[in-house]
Amino acid sequence: MTDKTTNISDKLVREDVLNMVPYQSARREQAGGSCWLNANEAGGNNQLDISLSNLNRYPDFQPQQLINAYAQYAGVENKQVLATRGADEGIEVLIRTFCQSAQDNIIICPPTYGMYAISAKGHAVNVTTVPLTDDLQLDLALLEENKNQTKIVFICSPNNPTGDVINRNDIITTLELFKDSALVVVDEAYIEFCPELSFAKLLNDYPNLVILRTLSKAFALAGLRCGFTLASNEIITMMSKIIAPYPISNPVSAIASQALTQNLNEMQQRVIQTNKLNVEIGEFLKQQTWLEKLFISKTNYILFQANNASTLFNSLIKQGVLIRNQSSQLGLDNCLRVSIGNVNELEQFKSAVNTYNQQQENSTCKT
Ligand SMILES: *Cc1c(COP(=O)(O)O)cnc(C)c1O
């Protein structure tokens, strides 16, 4: 590494990325103007109408309207935001920007979201596992042991698939622990369900803090593929060298911008409704004789442990109700995860569980 490094981003970034000149797209190079003959685009527009004019043009590298809308929504500065194709692309670009293949490490804390390890492996980056403790919190002692051997620590809070948040003080301790040695990524894909617990306000206090966000969950726009990375401008600048030159298409930008401004209220209503159904489904699960454990959920899904997980899971499939089997995750034997859908879907789930219970009862009576 060079010794003229000043900030954590320059210090951690792959040396070849530090010195790399990003792809000079016409759109990135030259803003404004009215006669665009610099990008081999069609001069006339296509026939599409609705709000989708300008499809003959490449989008801005980072559409201004979208960045404004998200920065305002998240309470951060525009230069601290990178729009990506889903939060998954944020994970991918972070690893490709900061980790040298066949050399560097990331830390994951399972049971957790699977894409950190998959993206790392795809880039030949080593994955160090620091499992969550029995109460599903960070193992600070083990994190400290790995302090100087990693480039990025991924923390998911609220955690997928377990559903609870990671203790705030432990994340702060981790940020301090790695402040000179690694980025600490807090994946806030589900933060809309408990917005008061976001780390976004701490961006200016911790230069190694990176936050991942998405429109796929509470905003109900998974099909759109739109997410955001929030971080210091230095980190965003480095990631901008690696991400594709036009990651966000014009229609995506238009739809996402609207969701973040005019339609914010719709998202908030959905969160209120989901949190209410979360309590209801929790009550329903608690009545089940086969329930071993109900996990705390601050999200739009609930994890539970059942003494009959695989038979229950298969019975639900047979009845057309698909939930997720998490039994193969570290420490999650016999655990199933049900998403909190709409009222109708939850009724189907309950009725399928009741049918299963009935069948079990009948078969035990016969024997
Ligand atoms: C769904 C999810 C993502 C990915 O979201 P996209 O924006 O759809 O790519 C990232 N992290 C966690 C924890 C998720 O559950």
One domain for residues 173 and 244: yes
Q: Ligand 1 in contact with 156 (CB < 6 A)?
A: yes
Which atom of ligand 1 is nearest the CA belonging to 86?
A: 7
In this structure, are residues 12 and 98 in contact, taking their beta carbons and an 8 Å threshold? yes
Which atom of ligand 1 is nearest the CA belonging to 88?
A: 9
Q: Using alpha carbons, select from 31, 27, 28 the residue that is nearest to residue 39.
A: 27
Please name the residue whose Cα sits nearest to atom 7 of ligand 1: 86
- CATH number for the domain that contains residue 353: 3.90.1150.10
One domain for residues 199 and 156: yes
Number of domains in the chain: 2
Mutate which of 84, 88, 159, 300 for ligand 1? The one with the most ligand atoms within 8 Å of its CB, which is: 88
One domain for residues 140 and 230: yes
Residue 246 Cα to ligand 1 midpoint, Å, equals 21
Q: Ligand 1 in contact with 61 (CB < 6 A)?
A: no
User: What does the pLDDT read at residue 366?
Assistant: 60
Q: Ligand 1 in contact with 157 (CB < 6 A)?
A: no
- CATH number for the domain that contains residue 152: 3.40.640.10
Residue 214 Cα to ligand 1 midpoint, Å, equals 7
One domain for residues 169 and 294: no
The two tokens of residue 31 are: 């803003």
One domain for residues 169 and 252: yes
Residue 268 Cα to ligand 1 midpoint, Å, equals 19
**What is the rounded CA–CA span in Å between residue 95 and residue 300?**
27
Boundary of a domain, candidates 210, 234, 262: 262
**What order do you get walking across the sheet with 126-129 strand by strand?**
81-84, 227-230, 209-214, 183-187, 152-156, 105-108, 126-129
In this structure, are residues 207 and 8 in contact, taking their beta carbons and an 8 Å threshold? yes
One domain for residues 206 and 175: yes
Residue 225 Cα to ligand 1 midpoint, Å, equals 10
Range of the domain at 247: 64-262
Q: Ligand 1 in contact with 113 (CB < 6 A)?
A: yes
Boundary of a domain, candidates 217, 247, 262: 262
pLDDT of the chain, 367 residues: tens digit per residue: 445 558 999 999 888 788 767 766 666 666 666 666 666 565 554 443 446 677 888 999 999 999 999 999 999 999 999 999 999 999 999 999 999 999 999 999 999 999 999 999 989 999 999 999 999 999 999 999 999 899 999 999 999 999 999 999 999 999 999 999 999 999 999 999 999 999 999 999 999 999 999 999 999 999 999 999 999 999 999 999 999 999 999 999 999 999 999 889 999 999 999 999 999 999 999 999 999 999 999 999 999 999 999 999 999 989 988 899 999 889 999 999 999 988 888 899 999 999 999 999 888 776 5
One domain for residues 253 and 276: no
Instruction: Tell me the pTM.
Output: 0.90
Q: Ligand 1 in contact with 86 (CB < 6 A)?
A: yes
Boundary of a domain, candidates 247, 262, 277: 262
Structural domain contains residue 127 = yes
**What is the rounded CA–CA span in Å between residue 233 and residue 345?**
42
In this structure, are residues 106 and 126 in contact, taking their beta carbons and an 8 Å threshold? yes
